[in-house]
Amino acid sequence: MGTRAQGRAGKHRDRGGEPHVAGRRGTIRVGTASWSDPGFVADWYPAGLPAAERLPWYAERFDLVEVNSTFYSVPAEKAVARWCDQTPKDFVFDVKLHQLLSRHSTPVKLLPPDLRPLADVRRGKVELTPDVEAAVAQRFLEGIRPLDECGKLGALLLQLSPAFSPRAYDLEELDDLIELVRAYRLAVELRHREWFTERLAETVAYFRERHVTLVAVDAPRSDHFMVVPPVDAVTDPRLGYLRAHGRNAHGFVAGRSVAERFDYDYSTKELDEIAGRAEQWAEVVRDTHVIFNNNKSDYAPRAAARLRRIVGRAAAAPSAPASRAGG
């Protein structure tokens, strides 16, 4: 299934693991952010395909998906177990952590009912306290246990709020959560520009010291604070993670819906650029995950399929000399 020259995803309940061997190409996996986006249903899946058959159909075409639904609700073990049953042996799920853990404004109704009494609620929103953070993280890990047990858990994704800025927060405030999920590979997407323009060196050092992957992005070219520049810093030799958001600057900043924010259809030239970045990652990390988040219509799965073909051709060619991506 995968586009890869060495290895497979397997279980990742470790914070260390073998370092990548320079000069040996690592895995490149490509997928989309969600398999059930409304645009996919309207324009990509066969007309009339039952909802229960979408994941198996998706998994015939890709070997990686990023689960988006877990951002809004803590997953149920039974549902997660079905994901395992519906996908091939070498399929991998990256799982987005709950929005409360990501420092987003969270209504109390989005917590599991039995955890709501623990929450300090102000103006209808949950205050993130150490006790609530620990309880939600523990329940979340219990929910995704089947993925770990069946060997299909890739990484946890922490997609931080753009409000998490260096002027308002310190990265060390993530230490408790990093410790809570220390048995798993963790990728963190910072979504405030100043972490990269004002504090790049200390940002990279923070994630390297904790063996946590700093997510790289392909995004619009803009100086808006919510638009992060393309920085490919290797902070964990086990995993490189690139999220492609499209390059629609106006939609990204001003769009109200997902389809408006990520309304962008990548050209072949632009996909070649992303492929080059992924191939550089693969020279220095064990696994590289590329996720297309340009979720309007069928733009994301079409771009993902084209990128898989591009990196597949590169994998079949002799490897270039190893080079470090971004430092």
236-277 pLDDT tens trace: 999 999 999 999 888 777 777 777 787 889 999 999 999 999
E strands, the chain, are 27-33, 64-67, 92-96, 120-122, 125-127, 153-159, 186-189, 213-214, 216-218, 239-244, 287-292
**Do residues 157 and 68 lie in contact, with contact meaning Cβ atoms separated by under 8 Å?**
no
Asked if residues 304 and 265 have their Cβ atoms less than 8 Å apart, the reply is no
- The pLDDT assigned to 313 comes to 67
- Helix, strand or coil, per DSSP, at residue 171: helix
pLDDT attached to residue 310 = 95
3-class DSSP assignment, residue 156: strand
Q: Which helix (H) or strand (E) holds 143?
A: helix 130-143
Half-sphere exposure of 190 (CA within 13 A, CB side): 29
**Domain map of the chain by residue range?**
27-316
Q: What is the full DSSP assignment across 24-68?
A: S--EEEEEEE-S--HHHHHHTSPTT--GGGHHHHHHTT-SEEEE-
pTM for the full model? 0.87
Helix axes 130-143, 77-85, angle to 10 degrees: 40
Contact 155, 187 (CB under 8 A): yes
168 φ/ψ angles, rounded to the nearest 5 degrees: -110, -20
83: left (phi over 0), alpha (psi -120 to 50) or beta: alpha
Residue among 282, 214, 218, 224 at smallest CA distance from 250 = 224
Domain 27-316: CATH superfamily, name plus number: Protein of unknown function UPF0759 (3.20.20.410)
| Structural tokens at position 132 | 């609530």
pLDDT tens string, the chain, 327 residues long: the values are 344 333 333 444 443 444 444 445 899 999 999 999 999 999 999 999 999 999 999 999 999 999 999 999 999 999 999 999 999 999 999 999 999 999 888 888 888 888 888 888 888 788 888 999 999 999 999 999 999 999 999 999 999 999 999 999 999 999 999 999 999 999 999 999 999 999 999 999 999 999 999 999 999 988 899 889 999 999 999 999 999 999 988 877 777 777 778 788 999 999 999 999 999 999 999 999 999 999 899 999 999 999 999 998 655 444 333 323 333
- Cβ atoms within 10 Å of 271's Cβ, excluding its own: 20
Identity of residue 256: R
- Cβ contact 252:246 at 8 Å: yes
What is the SS3 assignment for 223?
Answer: coil
- What is the model's pLDDT at position 271? 97
What are the structure tokens assigned to 326, written together? 């971004």
pLDDT at position 318: 42
Quote the pLDDT of residue 15.
38
> pLDDT by residue (tens digit) across 44-97?
999 999 999 999 999 999 999 999 999 999 999 999 999 999 999 999 999 999
